[in-house]
Every structure is written in C-alpha cells, then in structure tokens.
Amino acid sequence: MCAKMKNNKWVARSFIATSMLWSLNAYALEALSEQEMGAIQGRDGVTIGLQVPQSGAITAEQIRWELDNGETDANSASLQNHIIIGGTAIDSSQFAIKPIDLDGSEASQALDFALAIDAYTNDQGRPGLGLDATWNRMRVQADSLSVTDTSRSFGAVALDSGGRFAVFGDGGFANLNTDHARVIVNVGDIDNSNPDPNTWTMANPGRMFYRMGPAGSTEIQLDNLGFLFDMHQGTAGVDNDGLVVRSAPGSRTDLNLTFDILANVANTASTAFQFNEQSIPMLLFGWRGGIEDFDLHLLPQGTWLPDDGAFTQGLTASLGFNLADNFQFVLGEARYEESGDEKQSYLEFTQPISMPTTLGQTRKDLEFGYLTLDTVSAGHQSVGGICFGGGNTYGSTPSSCSTSTGGVLPTELLEVAPSDTGLAIINREWGLHAYSSRVIYRDGVSAANNIDEGWALIYTLGDISTNWYLYPQAGDGATLGSPGFTMDVVTAIQTEGGADANGRPDRSRWENGTHLMIGDTDFQTSYHDPLNPTADGLAIGLMGADLLFAANDMGVGLSLGDGLNLSSNEVRMQLRGMFGGGDVPRMESPVYGSYIDMNLEMDEFVFKLFPSLNGDAINFGGFLSLAKLNDIPGSEIAGHEDGTYISFAEPNLNKLDVDVRLADITGDIEIPSNFILAGGGGKIDLLSATEEADGKPKLRIETNMNVGALATKPGGGNGDPLEIGRLEFGGKDLGSMIIPAAKIYTSLTLEQQLD
C-alpha cells in the first residue's frame, strides 16, 4: 500500500512521564485498573499527540492497495489490480482527515489525536502493554473509490465521529498464550458501564454520508451512528495465518451497531455531506447487547483460482459468536433529535433462543464462516458458481452440484462470471442458528403505550453462500453522468437435510434450517402440552426454506427522481419451503400444510425505494416483466424449465410432483413510482400507538399494482398481458389463463390482538 501526501498542516507533541497524564483523561489508561484487567502494580508510559488546526487537514491524493502484482492465472492473464481511495494528481478527488462540527459544517475547534502507550505488571506478576488511541470529532472523507481505473468510481463517502481504539495485552503484546487481553473499539462515545443495553447512551453520535454523484447529489445518510466492540477479556494476537481476536470462556463482550437511515434528496453543493432540514428520516436499525464465545480470524488471502485452488491476494475474515440473553435487534422509525430525545417508536427483538443441536452439531448462533474481499477482472478469476440444492465449500470451484438434501430437492449450478474489473465479495458457510423469543413494541412518546405480549419473529438462516461482483461506473456528474456501480450477484440461503421414508422432513431440516415464522412464546401460561413438556412456544410459517437471488449486470443508482434504484434485464428469485407449524424450539410435534415453491424469472426488473417527504413512511415502486430466462439468447442466469411458476404441493417431500402448478407465467406488473408527486405505489408504514385512534400500533404494507396493458414499461408503452401458459395438476395440463389488464390493491396490517 502506498500514499501520496500533500498540503499537510499538523502539529505533533509528545511527552514521557512516570504518571501518564493528558488532557483527555477520560480515555487514559485508567481502564487498565478495572476488575477485568486485574490490579496494576506499576506504570510508565508515553503519550504521542497529533493536532490538526480547525482550518487544516491531512490529505492524500491517492491511497492504493496493490493486489497480485505481476501474478497471472493458468491462461497467463494478469491478476493484478489495485483498489484506489481518492483520485490522481490530475483531478481534485482525494482522501482527507480533518476536524468537523456536529452537523457537518466547518470545525470550530482543532482535531486532537492522542496515542497512549504504557507498560505495566498485573497482580499475577505478568507484564502487559497497552495501546490507547483517542480522537475528538473528525471527518474521514474519500471523494472516490475505484478499482484500477480512476475514471470509474463507486462514489464518495464521509464519516464524522469521535472515538477510541484500545488494546491491552497481557503477558506481552499480541500474546496468543493468554486470555486476559482486552480490546475496545468505540465510535460515538457509547457508555456501556451497565450490561443492560437499554441503558446505554451515546455522548457523541457519529454520522456517515454516501453519494454517487458530485457534491450536491442525492445522499444516503446514517445518523445517530454508534459502533462499540468491547471484549472485556480474551486473546488478541497474531499467528501463522493472521490476526486472532477471541473472547475468554464465560467473559462479557459488548456489541453495539445502531443508526438511523436518512435520505437527502434536495441537497446542494454548499450543503453536501451535512445534516440539515433536507435530511428525511426513513428507518432505525440496530444490534446491541452481549455476545459470547467471540472468535475472529483475519487472513491475508483472497479468492481462489479454479485451476489449482491457489489463493490470490486479498483479505478473508472468519467470525462467529453466540448471542447473550440481553442481545437485541431493533427496527423502527428514524426521527430527528429533539432536545436529546429522538422520540422513536420501534420493535425490539430480544431474548434469543439457540436452535437445538441434538444431532451433535458444533456451531455458534451466528457464523460468518468466510468473508473474502478481493478484486476481479473480466474473463478470468471466477470462483465458480453457487450450488442451489447442494453444498458450497470455501476454496472449491464446483463443476457440478452434489446434493445436500439426499436427492429430495433438485440441484442447480448457477454462475454469473465477472464481466468487468471491480470488487469481489465472496462468502461461504454463513448461518444464523438462533431466533428472538420476545418482541416488544416501544412507543416513542409514552412508555405507557409499550406492548410486550410474548410473541416471536423466527428467522433462522441455515446456510448462506454468495458471489458478489461490483463494478464502479464512469461519470463526472456533468458530461458523463453520475458514478455508481453495477453488480453481478448469486445468493443462496438454504436448508440442508432430506426426508424419511414417509416423506417427512428429517431432523436436520429443522435444526439446521432456514425458517421464516411467527411464534407465540407465552402460550404456556394458558395451555400446557402433556405430550411435549419441553415446548417453549408455538410457531407457524415457512419451515425448511430455500431462497435464491441471481442478477446479471444489475445497475444501482441513487438520485432525486429514482431514489435508490435497482435495475437489470436478467433476474431470478426463488422461494420454497414447507408451510406448517408446531412447538418451538424443538419442533417435536410438527404439523405440515403444503410445500410452496415460487420461482420468478424476469427479463426486466426495476425496484425503487423512496423516503416519504414528511419522514413517516418508506415508499417503493418498480416494474416486473415475467419471462422464461432459458428462452432469452445469451442469458447468463440458468432458469427453470417451467420458467416463472408457482406451485402448491402435497406436504410430502417424496411427492413434490403432486402439485397444483401455474407455469410459464409471462407478462408485466408495475408498482407505480410516481407517488412522490401524485401518491400511489407501495408504502411501508409503522403506525405508532399515539397516532392510531384505537391506541394500538400497526405495521402496514400497502401496494398498488397495474397489470398487463395498464402497466407502463420503463421505456414507455403499454405492458404485455399477464399470461399463465400452463395450469397443471399432478403434471396434467389443464389449459391456460390470461389477464389482459387489471388493477390490484393489497394491504397487509399487523397489529396487536384484541383482548
């Protein structure tokens, strides 16, 4: 990696003292005296300070990460690429670090960065070394991110925050033979002194901004951004493979990642990368609480070559952890701050329950087996396809699929090869093997309106494998259009396991499966099942599901007129699974209704996401042209022989051909996207208890659809009729159906059950 620096204005200061003191004493190495680190018998240290004046900045014209310099594949094609942050000496794009004020305006104070280094001896006589870096509010800004070619950019990003990074080693620094080290990363000055995440506060929230075009373009903003990783006790070091961070058994690790998503669609160049009255709130998202058995490995290797399996240069992370009882997932309204009170109504998903492991599985609640970041070029270096219905192993390039369902479900190998120079994001062996057994509605106006009725949203993910190739696009915001990116994607979220002789799903399909269900986890207060006394609740939904998403050359745009816009001429989506229910978490007495299989293939796909102008909802629109991809010359995405279809089969995995099937579906469906000016389209709205006449919160999803000739194609003109080419029962053709034109309105409302 290399950097070219220019126009640096900074003042350095350092001092050594027997008692380490500096102006930001709240972040000094006093943390070493906490119970987790033991008693410290002696300290000598040094603090190194760096100051950037309020009108100054540390800048770099270009930061380059060189990958596979001089390396070639089996066909002698070059593997060399480089990731570029900033621009070149010719243009104004750059990387900068500078002081900034809270709203993104010019700084009113200097940037102070301090690094404290201290050696000590703990109460057990072992030496230790601590590194503790802190900084007040600053902006880290990259005006461009590109791969090899600086004329093509993913866009620009800026992060405003204060923070802290500290590593306290035990028995020496980076020592793998101890589990008494501590690691802290704190962005937003989060106070986690109380283990209860509902008490955590953020003194200095961060903000992140992203745009695809020049200054003044539409921005996505993350407000009230906080990130905390605090491993109170564990191992932090380096082995022969790379970096290792691992928590000690039985120790506490705190994790927080929370933010509000906002859109700034009426921005100007003078207010670029600023939070202001044009910032429209959309969504609150957060993970917070305790995690256990944390294990991270960071490896200096990238993707693999198909000919010999050798790894290229890049970065691969392997991560897993269990969820503590107090871990929460929060989702709800984003709101402007009002005197420090954000007045947000949201859903809190908590009290995680691990899926059973009666088959002897050794795993964690959340597993990111392998996540690889690398670069790719057109025509080579593909890692191979994704097996849908089969296993996907890290480091292997499959030429065919081996079943992971005992032959019960069909297998397909789907591959979209890299079509350009860009980033590769590859993952294998991911899974989520726990679910929240408690969902609480928290009202942003009055705690008296909070609701806790003992229900659960069960979303487990059995096995996840993806290939993502992202290609930056050319653009200067004026003559060449806006920068951004296109992408090729194949993602499979699957369930492994087959069926018994009677066609019932075997045990592994529940314990290792993908499930999308709603549960009642408070039913034992009014009902007790004598045949299953270990049941903690009842749930209904889709069990043992498989999800597939594949897109070729999908454009991703961000603008005032189109919002967040996804578009492609080759898209396939499939969802299949058993609709049923039973006791959770063990599912000892399942009841099955029907096996549902829905496959959508599109030769034109558009999806747009907009903020509501008053910030109280999320609007969406789009266009689907249903087709049969196998009939499209040159299509890279393999389709099904029935094209777009919907199937309802007998609840027996050995008899899935006994079904009612709507096959060879073609035609156009539009969700109008003119709702910013005229209303219509789709809307997702969380209605708070104080907004509703009956005093009960609701989640409402509304959709208007124009079908057939009433749909308007993205390029203009009437849509094609919606036609069901074959209506089948048990493989017997019963004829066809056609809908020349129609308007369809749907509304789904989830609300509190009446007492």
> Do the Cβ atoms of 143 and 86 come closer than 8 Å?
yes
Instruction: List the chain residues with pLDDT less than 50.
Output: 1-43, 89-90, 339, 479, 524-528, 677-678
Burial class (CB in 10 A: 0-12, 13-18, 19+), 2: exposed
Listed by start position, the domains of the chain span 1-294
If phi over 0 gives left and psi between -120 and 50 gives alpha, with beta otherwise, what is residue 577? left
CA distance 451 to 755: 13
**Beta carbons within 8 Å of 754's beta carbon, 6+ residues apart:** none
Please give the biggest Cα pair distance in the chain.
89
Q: Which amino acid is at 23?
A: S
Residue of 286, 114, 51, 112 whose CA lies nearest to 190:
286
> Do the Cβ atoms of 404 and 496 come closer than 8 Å?
yes
The first and second tokens of residue 558, run together, are 């961000």
**Beta carbons within 8 Å of 96's beta carbon, 6+ residues apart:** 57, 58, 59, 60, 139, 140, 141, 143
> Do the Cβ atoms of 234 and 169 come closer than 8 Å?
no
C-alpha atoms less than 13 angstroms from C-alpha of 474 in its C-beta half-sphere? 5
> Do the Cβ atoms of 257 and 287 come closer than 8 Å?
yes
> Do the Cβ atoms of 493 and 389 come closer than 8 Å?
no
CA distances from 69 to 148, 246, 418, 571 (A): 12, 33, 20, 35
Helix boundaries (H) for 535-690:
675-678
pLDDT at 475: 63
The first and second tokens of residue 302, run together, are 């990238």
Concatenating the DSSP letter of every residue in 680-706 gives -SEEEEEE-TTTSTTS--EEEEEEEEE
Q: What are phi and psi of 74, to 5 degrees?
A: -65, -20
3-class DSSP assignment, residue 510: helix
In degrees, to the nearest 5, what angle opens at C-alpha 152 toward C-alphas 150 and 153?
95
pLDDT at 6: 39
pLDDT at 527: 44
Q: What is the pTM of this model?
A: 0.90
Residue of 398, 368, 369, 378 whose CA lies nearest to 386:
398
Q: What are phi and psi of 599, to 5 degrees?
A: -125, 120
Helix boundaries (H) for 11-164:
none
> Do the Cβ atoms of 419 and 445 come closer than 8 Å?
no
Residue of 338, 246, 253 whose CA lies nearest to 295:
246
pLDDT at 611: 86
Q: What are phi and psi of 253, to 5 degrees?
A: -130, 130
Q: Which residues pair with 156 in a beta bridge?
A: 211
pLDDT at 674: 65
